[in-house]
Structure 1
Amino acid sequence: MNINQVRRCVLYARLSVTKEESVSIARQLESGRKYAEARGWEVIGEFVDDGVSATVNRPEDRKGWAALLAADGFDAVVIWKVDRLARRVLDFLHADEALQKRGAGLVAVEDPIDMTSPQGRAFAVMLAVFGEMEAEGIRARVRAARAHLIKDGRFVGGGIPYGYRSIENPDGPGRVLEKDAERIGWLREAVLLAQQGKTVNAIATWLTDQHAPLPVRRKPRLDPENRAWNRQTVEQLLRNPILAGMTPHNPGRAKSDKRADPFAVVRDEGGAPVIDESLAIITFDEFGELQRTLDARDSPQARKRSEREPTSPLLSRAVLCDDCDVYLYRGANQKQPVLYCPKCRQTIGRTRLDPYLIDRLLTERGAEPHAGSTVLERWRAVGTDERARREILLSQVASLRIRRGVVGRYFDDERVLLRWRPGARFDDGVPVVARAADLRVVELSTDQRVDA
């Protein structure tokens, strides 16, 4: 880029956190406009990444910068300072390279850089180096401040655990945690149920049925009317070390590690966990036993994904909840495979459901043509391949829904609303008739009478 040939430019501004000493997005853009006006350049676009860290997010991963690269017709990108674009040298060089490929260049209002000469490019790289050093210094100061707050027993910010609240520190500056009278009782009951052997799903259902207050969210819910607890939230509560009065501390945990180690906590010089008895609702030993109980369960919802024992895919995205009109999820309850509705939480056991559906498929549809053969012959040919079996089943099903039943009852085939595709017949050639009310096929009685 030759700076004397620039006619049209775009502006780019970025800010990670708004602070009193920060140069706001508006000020960055205003400085860029004045810079362009003084040189007679036409500003044809302004692109912003607000609330985006340059240390964590590469330029190409930011929405504002990606939109800038997708635009056409500019000769230069005006930024306020080099560190507004990147805090790492490698990120800066990649961003500059992307602009060079399209014949555009960088201009900084506060940093006198000229990317048209080797000397100017070298100076720009030096500025990027200093920006990276500054970012590392900021991280070091943040870590040190966090360690100091934790050592003093103060709340370091972030999400407030369920059952607790943040208050002004009565013994000095900052804030501390204390038990929340409105929610701590619900937390105790959830822990007690888990200690008694209840599954995470069962606890979530119980909290929903009892209208327990939900955790306070920073962001508004997508569906404000949905007051149901979910399994993930309950498991997070049961794995939080604050239950035993400990403070979570994971300074070395990678971002990709979504599940924190419940025993990665603040420890004293001797390596023992620091425990605040005023916050604890169970002992350290009880907390350890609770974690072992959760880890020992075979249900897919209770274990890490890498450790889960998969359930049969035969009914994956094949069964709808008749009340909510959403697909039932695969899961396990008390080590038994189930299907459950993510909205109303109804469940149905698969130990009896799967054989029931297979028996009806082979009895009622076995003679139907499928893949150059019949359903029965094809079923026998695929053997125990569950995904191939699923394909055969879905090729014959027009609708498969489960309606709610009486809690605690054994398998009830009246909950299964099954409708075959046109052409369904029994082996003796008698056609199956569906009820008009609920579009389900019912089983014939012993005298082969159709209940219509």
Structure 2
Amino acid sequence: MNVNKVRRCALYARLSITKEESVSIIRQLDSCRRYAEARGWEVVGEFIDDGVSATANRPEDRKGWTALLAAGGFDAVVIWKVDRLARRVLDFLHAAEMLQQCSAGLVAVEDPIDMTSPQGRAFAVMLAVFGEMEAEAIRARVRSARAHLIKDGRWAGGGIPYGYLSAANPDGPGRVLVKDPERLQWLTKAVMMALNGATVYGITKWLTDEGAPLPGGRSSKRTPGNVEWNYHTVNRLLRNPILAGMMPRNPGRGRNAKDVDPFAVVRDERGLPVINKSLAVITLDEFTALQDILNSRESPQVRKRRSRETTSPFLSRVASCDTCDVYMCRGTNQKRPVLYCPKCKQTLSRATLDPYLVKRLLAERGGEPLAGVTVQDSWDTVGADDLARREILLTQLESLRIRRGVVGRYFDEERVLLRWLPAGSGGHSDPAGPSKAR
């Protein structure tokens, strides 16, 4: 790209989360506009990705960046800094390559990038390297701060385990965990049942039937909005090292309770687990025995076949998990149809996903030829036959991948990574398995 030949530009801004010290989307765009105005460039579009992590999301998987590439009609893309585009070197290089294919270049307001020469391109890569190093430094600081808090006996934040409360630290600043008298009896009983051979499903049913207070709220009384306990919540509860008074070494919640090492906990200088006996409900030996019991059951302790809810086969072996690269399974969560990943356990409601896919299929591919007619005609002919609908979808689909989203968020279209086959290809389906769409 020769900056002297630039006439039209597009602006791009990204922000993971708004904090007092962060540079807002508005400030980024204002800075980019002033840069373009000073050079006499016409701004033909502004594109943003707000609330999107550059570490967790590649540029090509972001809604704003994808829209920018699809819009075209520009000679350059102006960003505030390199780390607004990517925090991984490979992501940056791939994004720069995509711009080159569009005969456009990249300009950063705060980073003096001139990609017209090999030296300039090398410098841009170095900036991307520093951005990746900064992201890793942030993670290291978070881990260090958390370890310090735990060493002092304080609560490091995050989701509070079931059966516990966060209370003011009586011995100094910060907060500490204490047992929740309202939920502790349910927690202890559930653990004892598991140690005595009860299945996770059996414990789940018992908690629901007995009206045990659900995680998250303070009230033990059920309201019309409350729902029953589910298998994965109970399974995760029984694998939490806090049961033996130990603190997990990693902040946050693992994607799959069975795949997370329950003994990856804070340890002392001798390598022994740091145990807070005031928080323990069982001993370390009992916790070890409990994990052995849970791990010895090879198949999930789901409902008996005769009591399971039937679900539509429309997306059977169609959608795959973008993280684990395996087909997502159909099932139910709290009696609602969902797709779930058998590895990382992410779920997505089919009550919203199925209509969304049907709407896009008919709107974007309805006029495509299929068996002598069109996709729309074929769809109308099969009616409510979900297996036949599935076959029609597969004739048009190149890939359908679901990526993880924010827990508790309503249906998010950005989680659905959908690609159609090239128009006029006639359609095909690949039974061999999912493949990453890049």
Question: Tell me, what secondary structure is at the counterpart of 1:227?
Answer: coil
1:314-329 superposed matches below 5 A: 326=311
Residue of structure 2 equivalent to 1:290: 290
What residue is the counterpart of 1:83 in the other structure? 83
Give ranges in structure 2 of 5+ residues lacking alignment: 218-223, 314-330, 337-386, 388-438
Q: Give the counterpart letter for 1:48 in structure 2.
A: I
1:34 paired to 2:25? no
Per-residue CA deviations over 1:304-329 (Å, capped at 9, x if unaligned) read xxxxxxx99xx8xxx896xx77579x
Name the CA shift for 1:294/1:175 in 2 (closer, same or farther; >3 Å). same
Q: Which runs of structure 2 are paired with 1:170-189 in the superposition (5 Å)?
A: 170-189=170-189
Please say if residues 199 and 301 of structure 2, whose CA atoms lie closer than 8 Å, have aligned partners that are also in contact: no
Give the structure 2 partner of residue 99 of structure 1.
99
The one-letter code of the counterpart of 1:24 is: S
* Counterpart Cα distance in 1 of 2:192 and 2:333: 24
**Aligned residue for 1:16?**
16
Q: 1:245, 1:287 → 2: CA distance?
A: 10
| Change beyond 3 A, Cα 1:215–1:92 | same
Q: Tell me if structure 1 keeps the 8 A contact 2:235–2:257.
A: no
Q: Aligned residue for 1:212? A: 212
Aligned to 1:227: 227
1:140-191 Cα distance to aligned partner (Å, 9 max, x none):
3222222212222222222211111222322222222111233222211211
Counterpart of 2:264? 264
Higher RCO (Cα < 8 Å, 6 or more apart): 2
1:315-347 deviation line (CA, Å, top 9, x unaligned): 8xxx896xx77579xxxxxxxxxxx986569xx
Deviation of 1:92 (Å): 1.7
Q: 1:344 to 1:97 in 2, by over 3 A?
A: closer
d(CA) in 2 for partners of 1:344 and 1:129? 47
Structure 1 residues not aligned, in runs of 5+:
218-223, 303-310, 329-339, 346-394, 396-452
Question: Cα distance, 1:35 vs. partner?
Answer: 2.0
Matching residue of 2:428: none
Moved more, 242-251 or 259-268: 242-251
1:400-431 deviations in whole A, cap 9, x for unaligned? xxxxxxxxxxxxxxxxxxxxxxxxxxxxxxxx
Following the alignment from structure 1 to structure 2, what is the Cα–Cα distance between the partners of residues 344 and 258? 23
Farther-moved stretch of structure 1 (172-181 vs 270-279): 172-181
What's the secondary structure of 2:77's corresponding residue? strand
Q: Give the Cα separation in 2 of the matches to 1:298 and 1:101.
A: 49
Paired with 1:249 and 1:91, the residues of 2 have a C-alpha distance of: 29
**Which whole-Å CA distance do the structure 1 matches of 2:335 and 2:23 have between them?**
49
Letter in 2 for 1:184: L
**Superposed CA offset, 1:349-405 (max 9, x none):** xxxxxxxxxxxxxxxxxxxxxxxxxxxxxxxxxxxxxxxxxxxxxx9xxxxxxxxxx
**Structure-2-length-normalised TM-score:** 0.64
Aligned positions of 1:396-407 closer than 5 A:
none
Q: CA deviation at 1:100?
A: 0.5
Q: Distance in 1 between matches of 2:53 and 2:212?
A: 37
Whether 1:48 aligns to 2:83 is no
* Native 8 Å contact 2:267 2:274 kept in 1: yes
In 2, Cα distance between the equivalents of 1:162 and 1:129? Answer: 41
For residue 120 of structure 2, what is the aligned residue in structure 1? 120
CA contact (8 A) 1:164 1:178 kept: yes
Match of 1:155 in 2: 155
Check conservation: 1:10, 1:76, Cα contact below 8 A.
yes
Residue 65 of structure 2 corresponds to which residue in structure 1? 65
Identity %: 71
Cα distance in 2 for residues equivalent to 1:91 and 1:55: 9
1:337-376 aligned at under 5 Å gives the runs: 343=334
Separation (CA, whole Å) in 2 of partners of 1:198 and 1:204: 10
Evaluate the alpha carbon distance shift between residue 137 and residue 152 of structure 1 in structure 2; reply closer, same or farther with a 3 A threshold: same
Query: In structure 2, how many angstroms separate the alpha carbons of the residues matched to 1:343 and 1:47?
Result: 38
What is the alpha-carbon distance in structure 2 between the residues aligned to residue 112 and residue 56 of structure 1?
26
Q: Partners of 2:111 and 2:138 in 1: how far apart? A: 21
Does residue 194 of structure 1 match 2:194? Answer: yes
The answer to whether the 8 A contact 2:166-2:177 is kept is yes
Q: What displacement does 1:261 show?
A: 1.1
Measure, in 2, the Cα distance between the counterparts of 1:5 and 1:147: 53
* Alpha-carbon distance between aligned partners in 2 of 1:276 and 1:341, rounded to the nearest angstrom: 38
User: CA 1:274–1:341 in structure 2 vs 1: closer, same or farther (change >3 Å)?
Assistant: same
Distance in 1, matches of 2:163 and 2:11, equals: 46
- CA-CA distance at 1:106 after TM superposition: 0.7
Matched position secondary structure for 2:44: strand
Mapped to 1, the partners of 2:195 and 2:150 lie a distance apart of 29
TM-score using structure 1 length:
0.62
* Alignment partner, residue 364 of structure 1: none
Could you say if the C-alpha distance between residues 196 and 320 of structure 1 is closer, same or farther in structure 2, counting changes exceeding 3 Å?
A: closer
Equivalent pair of 2:244/2:279 in contact (CA under 8 Å): yes
Instruction: State the match for 1:447 in structure 2.
Output: none
Distance between the aligned counterparts of 2:274 and 2:97, measured in 1?
50
Distance 1:174 1:66 in 2: 43
Q: Would you say the 8 A contact 1:11–1:46 is kept in 2? A: yes
What secondary structure is seen at the aligned counterpart in 1 of 2:55? coil
Give, in angstroms, the shift of residue 291 of structure 1: 1.5
Q: For 1:283 and 1:257, how far apart are their aligned partners in 2?
A: 20
Alignment partners' CA distance in 2, 1:257 and 1:229? 16
Distance 1:161 1:29 in 2: 41
- Which whole-Å CA distance do the structure 2 matches of 1:44 and 1:184 have between them? 60
The reply to whether residue 133 of structure 1 matches residue 133 of structure 2 is yes
C-alpha distance in structure 2 between counterparts of 1:211 and 1:41, whole Å? 65
Asked if 2 retains the 8 angstrom alpha-carbon contact of 1:154 and 1:175, the reply is yes
- Give me the whole-angstrom Cα distance separating, in 1, the residues matched to 2:333 and 2:92: 45
Q: Residue 48 and residue 167 in structure 1: after superposition, are their counterparts in 2 closer, same or farther (change >3 A)?
A: farther
User: Does the 8 Å contact 2:236/2:257 carry over to 1?
Assistant: no
Aligned positions, number: 314
| Corresponding residue of 2:221 | none
Instruction: Could you list the structure 1 runs, at least 4 aligned residues long, displaced by more than 3 angstroms after superposition.
Output: 253-258, 324-328, 340-345
Hey, what's the Cα distance between the residues in 2 that align with 1:327 and 1:135? Answer: 42
